[in-house]
Amino acid sequence: MNLEFLSGLGLEEEICAKILEEYQRECDKSAFSDTLQKQLEQAGAKSVKAVSALLDQEGLTFEEGEISGLSEQLTALKEAHPYLFETDLPRAVASTMGGGERERSLFSVIRSAAGL
């Protein structure tokens, strides 16, 4: 959408300027939201919505596709609320009764070898 297009619709220049200003504001808001979501996912946020709610949005600035002030806030949030972020630690796996697939297949091999 541009001024030429809106003027071609017969709208006054002042109204066209207001429409374009609002349109640009909405585009910037959408781009900020998309960029924030991607950066929170990259930071390991388990819930983008929960982490976003804890951010000081006024302390963030969005220019040329970059969000300034986010890394500092994320560092503080990771310290204060580590449960909101994925960790690099391996997860413990609970064993099942009777052993895993490897144990069962080993047992099958032994039974076959013994002719059972």
pLDDT in tens, 62-85: 998 899 999 999 999 999 999 999
For 1-116, list the strands marked E by DSSP: 61-63, 66-68
pLDDT tens profile 28-63: 999 999 999 999 999 999 999 999 999 999 999 999
88-114 per-position pLDDT tens digit:
755 555 555 555 555 556 667 777 777
Residue 33: predicted pLDDT: 94
Of the candidates 74, 27, 31, which has an alpha carbon nearest to the alpha carbon of residue 54? 74
Supply the DSSP symbol for 46.
S
User: How far is the CA of 82 from the CAs of 22, 76, 78, in angstroms?
Assistant: 38, 10, 5
- Residue 66 bridge partners (DSSP): 63
Which one has a higher pLDDT value, 108 or 4?
4
